[in-house]
Structure formats: structure tokens, C-alpha cells
Chain A
């Protein structure tokens, strides 16, 4: 299976600014998920949005999903230095239950 693409590959912002990351995917999905990875560590699940949802919020995170364009975006509001990490989207395909296909990730750097 092909991996989705994330844009931008790297993002550098100042504390307090908002960070937006975009993800395009290939298949018909059941849901799309976002994960965070601190340098060299395991991934941590952030948020899941189902194919019949268009927007979802969790704390400072806002995820949108446009199934017609096969795209999703992750917005982190009022960023903090501790948000510095890599962020990955992962598509859960409609016929591949339990399997995730990860994008290549966006490296976010938040400067204090």
C-alpha cells in the first residue's frame, strides 16, 4: 500500500502561534488518526476522526477531514515549546481493519 503524504515536511514557529499540518491519503478510509512522536521515541495517539465526521476537537487540537479531497489537517493552537515533535497521520482503510498506513510526518519545531 502507498503511504499518504504530509505537508509541510518541516514547520518552524514561535511559541503562541498556531501550527497547521496537512495530510493527503490514498484509500477509502474508515477513520484517520494523528500520532505524535518525540525524537526517537514511540508514537503516541492524539486524535481519531471517523470518515463520517468533518471536524473534531481535543484540547488545543483541531482535526478536519475532507473525504472528497482525501485530505485531513491538524491544527495545534497556541503552541508551546513542548509541542516540538514529529506528527504523523495514519489512515485506517475501509477494508483493512486494524491496519494503519502512516504518512511520512511533519517535523514541528516550536521556539520559546
Chain B
């Protein structure tokens, strides 16, 4: 099936550090979204990207939609302990006629205070 690969799989950082994670696909998507999942909770939408090359920020989070429409990255600046969780990218609109999300494999972020 379709696969979105995220890297790294996990990150263990100190509070205050910047974080970068990315997501790649063999397929083109029309929209990229980034979600955060806390343990036992549903994914929470962080950022949505709609155009190739688009760079969007949401507070300390910045995400970009790759020019090829096959990749995206998410940066978190000045990490804090509550940034801990699993971050998922999701591609949407493959083939144009669907709005279902295909989720990436996830990046586990741990922040040491």
C-alpha cells in the first residue's frame, strides 16, 4: 500500500533545542498535514499545507510543502517539555478525487527538561 516514511523514527533532545523531522513519499499529494498525538489521545492538527513550496508557521512550529509535492518537513524551535509526543505527517488528495489521509510512520519526540 501507500507509504509515507518519516525520519527520524525517534528523537531525544534537551529542552530549548530545535527539532527537525521530515516525511517523504513516492506519491504526489495535493495537501500535507502535520499532526501531534499524545498518549491515549487522537491526533491533533498542527499545520496544513496546500501549495508546493509553501512555508507555514504556527507559533514555534514551521512546516514546508516540498516542491515535488512528495515531501514535507516540520521544524520545532526552542522545544519545551510539552512538545513530547508522536508527530505524524499525513498526505491528502492523492489522485485528486479523495480527501482521505495517508499517515506517515511517525516521529517520537522526547524532551529532557
Q: Is chain B found bound to chain A in the same assembly? A: no
| Chain B residues at the A interface, C-beta cutoff of 8 Å | none
| Chain A residues at the B interface, C-beta cutoff of 8 Å | none
